[in-house]
Structure 1
């Protein structure tokens, strides 16, 4: 296999990875607070398989990480008391069995003890890292102000914490639409963010844009495949001609 086929194969591997990311974006177009991703590519120098007067090193195609767009998604009204959306920068903090996690998905509920939790039952942190508990035996409507203060009737019962990071590169995706603080960066209160009760943040995925990208990647993959096939045919024909000449 000559250098052109090696380079083409490296390109195909990256295009396949890019297709997987685009497909995941499309699959999460309706996931609350989901942020779409893009693959970053780079050239990777490598020793040539064979060359006579050709470039050294040969430049292959490689993946260089995944970029995530944390842009604001559209807020949609649900009128559910414990559906919360963040307008602006910031994340809700969730206490899981694997440690603290951060999310933009504010589709919350209360458990049997009145603790505000995710749908999976993980407590949502208040502004001090504790829990917010609603007393179901007490009367009064549950209201949550724009700064996260939770009230039951006229009584304040807690404050939903909204946290931000100086560098979003500290966040690493862990599944369940959550992130972990992989860099141990100290989060701070997102004082400029607003909490919207009875609303959820939609994904910031634009399906039309993602489908267009998918088509472009598919065409690029087909083009590389055709190039590799042509190169292989040329090599095979060259070998056959040399054999006949001898």
Structure 2
């Protein structure tokens, strides 16, 4: 029965975390470049298998019950593009197709689909909060004359007065599982990056890829699963209380 407590509590905790992930998706539905996140839940092995005993031969035996579930990790849907919206700002950029903008913060590089960029006082193309510089294909930050207009073509080539300045890097990890969400729209990564042929669009922004109906459906499912686990905890608690009350009568 105590084992049942553990399974139900683990299930409730997993569904509670899943609810938090979905709520975060809904909160960022209007965040440019945000990628929907989802919790990956994995079945936990039963006690016997975990401790090296042979697999159960009789799946109907209560001793061979599964070990419930646990949160494996949180991943992001990077394969689905968000809706695009026209902008009147020259520093707003969007990618169409596979790939990310490459951002440098200090000595570290990050990836993002959020093309809400700015020009800082020194002419560097930076993230909206100014904390990261947008990198070119040569690995250097892109620097422009802030007093002059600039143009970005579909290949990511940046030009001022007809003179090429740099080409915006569009890259992606070799393995999509190497991406780790960081904050709202940044991703850290492991391993190597490979260039992509994502099309660059100026004066266009990509929105989030969150679908309200899908998220609300998932939220209802998670809430029901959470409540079911709580009900099971209460049921086991009542049964345990009844058993304890019967112990004196057995003496």
Q: TM-score, normalised by structure 2?
A: 0.87
How big is the shift at 1:98? 4.7
Correspondence for 2:137 among 127, 143, 149: 127
Mind listing any 5+ residue stretches in structure 2 that lack a counterpart? 49-60
Q: Secondary structure at the match of 2:45?
A: strand
Distance 1:36 1:74 in 2: 13
Q: How does 1:46-195 map to 2 (within 5 A)?
A: 46-47=46-47, 54-56=62-64, 58-70=66-78, 71-121=80-130, 122-138=132-148, 141-182=149-190, 184-185=191-192, 187-191=193-197, 193-195=198-200
| Superposed CA offset, 1:104-149 (max 9, x none) | 11100111111111122221101111122222355xx321101111
How big is the shift at 1:73? 0.8
How big is the shift at 1:173? 2.1
How big is the shift at 1:164? 2.2
Distance 1:117 1:125 in 2: 9
How big is the shift at 1:56? 4.1
Aligned residue for 2:11?
A: 11
Give runs of ≥4 in structure 1 deviating > 6 Å. none
Distance 1:216 1:116 in 2: 43
Aligned residue for 1:215?
A: 220
RMSD, aligned CA: 2.0
Distance 1:180 1:97 in 2: 14
Distance 1:42 1:169 in 2: 16
Q: Secondary structure at the match of 2:62?
A: coil
Mind listing any 5+ residue stretches in structure 1 that lack a counterpart? none
* 8 A Cα contact 2:173 2:189, kept in partner: no
* 8 A Cα contact 1:92 1:124, kept in partner: yes
Please tell me whether residue 232 in structure 1 is matched to residue 237 in structure 2.
yes
Q: 1:245 to 1:131 in 2, by over 3 A?
A: closer
Distance 1:202 1:145 in 2: 20
* 8 A Cα contact 2:7 2:69, kept in partner: yes
